[in-house]
Structure 1
């Protein structure tokens, strides 16, 4: 049975993506795979933020000062995690914009392919591994 290319084509599986030939790099089906992956991650972050909002609105009145301190510390930790997730949300939105513009999957520094395995590990990556390593090495040197 042969697959027919239609407008309503199903999204590739991870295995199909990894098995794709090099000449199909960042083809429409591959871009759709990453769009779906990014949107799923974005939804998970939004769900987490909603849960945090509900959790922080719960009044946990307790007369014990140590319990109150523990609750406050848990809330502070939760807010720090959500702040990191907020920054990730911005990166996800930028990655989705790169998909729309046709720049997704290509290193912003070298113009070379970032690579499917790297994008699977970090779908918001903007640089190929070599460029990222150079960038991090320069940061370490400048921090000194």
Structure 2
């Protein structure tokens, strides 16, 4: 019994330490992202059966009442540019992973982290400062209006 409790406590501690999905999500955005963490990668995928990167962002934003196209370059053409130091939860972050321009997109979730559909690991959360993403970071766009942000991504009291 004692070993089981210790294992459970360690598991919960690891979940919070690693910053993966939390059952205590503060916003609608957090809740939608948490629901699909671990969903497998599928090229062209737009459903919980499998996502590609832009399919993931399209799906989450649709749950929040916003329509996005299904292509990272087309999503980059939307919204307002945001500097990296001014990112807020719900901003889209873009990367050049192919060497040929915008080829990957994720959703900034705060604390230097973003959620995205990784080709190798499915829907995960990574840090923008990780060398791979830091070197390929292109920019960010704010898609949500301030009102939509407050309703969907702002912390609830």
* Larger CA Rg, structure 1 vs 2: 1
TM-score bin, normalised by smaller chain: under 0.3
Higher relative contact order (Cα pairs below 8 Å, separated by 6+ residues): 2
